[in-house]
Structure 1
Amino acid sequence: MLKRGIEFILTMAFTALSYFLFDFFYKSNLSRIGDVIPPYAPAAAGIVLGIIFFFVVAHIISDEIIKRMENIETRLVKMSLKDLMASIFGIILGLAIANLIGMAISGYGVIGTSITVLLNIIFGFLGLRVARRKKDEIGGIGSLMDGVKENVRLKGGSVSGRPKILDTSVIIDGRILDILKTGFIEGKIIIPNFVLEELRHIADSADSLKRNRGRRGLDILNEIQKQTAVNVEIVDFSTKEQLEVDSKLLKMAEKIDAFVVTNDFNLNKVAEFQGVRVLNINELSNAIKPVVLPGEDMQVTVIKAGKEYGQGIAYLNDGTMIVVEGGNKFIGEQINVIVTSVLQTAAGRMIFTKKKD
């Protein structure tokens, strides 16, 4: 439909231009051409050339125009909202300056009009370039205004921030609910429709383990929606191509300039490669674990025997494993130990201790 519309407009413009050219030569009566050609000849020639243009050339030009429009659309979609707003502001400012100057020379006929059009092109382009280079300063003005609004915000009002899109895995995990209750995460919480559909599909699975995980995720989601301090919104998002849930998640985050909240290691790596910001719950959990130094005293309860001979295993409240040298003799007992070393692994942190004399 768009292609046909462009072809029609191009054909009408070409037909009108052809008619005006033929009519100009006809009325100028070069070599007394008007004596042998009837008055309707310019219009007939314009229509004939327009028909030829429509069937031979118009579709080629329209395809190129549509291709250019798609390229521009792709570039605009990839731009952040900050860049887009800065570009629009720069273009509007440049056009305003150009037209103010053009008002002074608008009375000079065709020459004045041509200069005004040229000024619009030049100042529009300059405004775009300057605004793109000064976008951080423009954003700084916006941040200052946000700060002023924050000072007069009513008690209990919402706090602004970049949107956070929740992944399926982080909803099932459940720790995001406790984090939201603490108020450390600001901004709108977005639940994509395809994530909700995946949760429903897991909850209907024939596998009992998957079914329980899906139902837990739906329960967590209901609890998140009940949090009055957090703005939760379910958003419909779809793409032309058939993509997996993780790919849709990253594409949505890139389009609306949002963070992805997850605990999926693979999704985290792919997001880093595509330049999408990720908030990983596991990384947060490791970051807030208490720091333990060699030589410190601890009181632990030995739970079971370790893999190596004589070792006992205990755990902190956050799940950190403690290996007690010679602790297999004190299983079920609470003992005082001294930290000998701390080992950080990909799976987490391990603390090695020995019984205090």
Structure 2
Amino acid sequence: MKSSWSMRLVRALFFALSVFVGIAIALGMGEPAWVGALMGLGYMGLLLVLDVMFARFSLRDFSHATIGLAIGLFCAWLVTRIGVFQLTYFQNQENPEVVQNIVEVCVYGSLAYLGVSFALRSDRDHFAFLIPFVRFRREGSEGEPVVIDLSVAGDSRVLRVLGTGFLSGTVVMPRFVLDELQRMADSEDMITSQRGRRGLEMMEKLRGLPEARVSVHENAGSADLPVEARLVTLAREVNARLLTNDEALARVARLRGITVLSFPELVAALTVELGVGDELNLLLTKPGKEKHQAVGYLDNGTMIVVNQAAALIGQSVEVIVCGAHTTTAGRLIFAELKNKPV
């Protein structure tokens, strides 16, 4: 991952500071300045190596590891305070104090390692069980993050919705989703390649939206799991909502306790339910079943049958809803002309 300009600036400042401090220490000890400069460079090099090693170690992972370390050290302190070193075996050693120190170091190191290891493998539900009154969740007016999946990566509605500011919260683009889009874009299949390129273009435009806060999440999780399972795991880890058009993925995510945002469900929720007496403007497109009828369609595909309108096919007319009927194919609405011909 390319470093941002701010990260490069921080590294440059620490680089200069390390060299300066190294020279100051060397001169204070009576050593040549170049020795101190080399010491500073070596120290900064070690920091850069650690930085690269922990590039995918997030602040959430650090907080989990800190809690696990504290629990492990506390358990080690309890073990060393239960009088185990008063046993005859330890007292009969040639140097009991040395043996005790070695055993204590091993106990502290082992339990600290196990505490950190268990904590990094745990999610927020495990911590909520351990600490019932603490919840690891985000607070504030910006809302919870939103994780984008493959099914909406190339959906232009994402840009329109985020551009209006209707959907709040940081948009999280998983690195493995971007990698999958790149793999699709490089595919020899023309349709798959077009989908991949369109998805990458949408993600690039999304990052350019001033109304959207976009973050690329580098933690790829287990590469052995399918993308859908990794999305659910990521959403749970970062306490985020999942934006998807995949109904199966939405059901699995809800079963795992994740809030799901779905464009098809949003469209269905915003669909106007016409009732008797409602008026609307309708384009009549074809004849109806009866000779006097004409048919028009709403934007969502609902068919409206207008009586006494066969002569007006091809025109937009004002109609009044007079009834509705639900069939296996959907909802069928009947209407009359508002201004009936004389």
Q: Which residue matches 2:16?
A: none
Report the TM-score, using the length of structure 2 for normalisation. Answer: 0.59
- Structure 1 position 224 matched with structure 2 position 233: no
> Which of 264, 271, 275 is the matching residue for 1:293?
275
SS in 2 for 1:302: strand
Residue 237 of structure 1 and its aligned partner are, at CA, apart by 2.2
SS in 1 for 2:143: coil
Q: Which residue matches 1:154?
A: none
SS in 2 for 1:353: strand
1:36-55 aligned at under 5 Å gives the runs 42-43=94-95
**Structure 1: how far apart are the matches of 2:179 and 2:328?**
32
Report which of the two structures shows the higher radius of gyration computed on alpha carbons. 1
Residue 65 of structure 1 and its aligned partner are, at CA, apart by 9.4
Q: 1:341 to 1:177 in 2, by over 3 A?
A: farther
* Alpha-carbon contact 2:284-2:316 (below 8 Å) kept: yes
Aligned length: 255
Residue 350 of structure 1 and its aligned partner are, at CA, apart by 3.8
**Structure 2: how far apart are the matches of 1:180 and 1:23?**
67
1:50-69 aligned at under 5 Å gives the runs none
* Alpha-carbon contact 1:320-1:350 (below 8 Å) kept: no
Q: Which residue matches 1:353?
A: 334
* Alpha-carbon contact 2:146-2:242 (below 8 Å) kept: yes
1:1-357 aligned at under 5 Å gives the runs 21=88, 42-43=94-95, 73-79=120-126, 83=128, 128=131, 131-132=133-134, 160-240=142-222, 242-304=224-286, 312-316=294-298, 318-325=299-306, 330-342=312-324, 350-356=331-337, 357=340
**Structure 1 residues 232-284: Cα deviation after superposition (integer angstroms, max 9, x where no partner):** 11111222351111111110000010001112211111111111111111111
Q: 1:258 to 1:323 in 2, by over 3 A?
A: same
SS in 2 for 1:42: coil
Q: What is the alpha-carbon root mean square deviation over aligned residues?
A: 4.5
One-letter identity of the residue aligned with 2:176: F
**Structure 2: how far apart are the matches of 1:23 and 1:175?**
71
**Structure 2: how far apart are the matches of 1:305 and 1:237?**
57
Q: 1:241 to 1:185 in 2, by over 3 A?
A: same
**Structure 1 residues 276-333: Cα deviation after superposition (integer angstroms, max 9, x where no partner):** 1111111112222334212323221123467x676754233x4342332566765423
Report the TM-score, using the length of structure 1 for normalisation. Answer: 0.56
One-letter identity of the residue aligned with 1:248: R
**Structure 1: how far apart are the matches of 2:123 and 2:169?**
24
**Structure 2: how far apart are the matches of 1:345 and 1:181?**
38
* Alpha-carbon contact 1:323-1:350 (below 8 Å) kept: no
**Structure 2: how far apart are the matches of 1:282 and 1:293?**
22
* Alpha-carbon contact 2:321-2:336 (below 8 Å) kept: no
**Structure 1: how far apart are the matches of 2:229 and 2:196?**
20
Unaligned runs of 5+ in 2: 1-75
**Structure 1 residues 191-235: Cα deviation after superposition (integer angstroms, max 9, x where no partner):** 111111222233333333333333332222222111112111111
Unaligned runs of 5+ in 1: 1-8, 26-40, 48-52, 88-127, 147-158
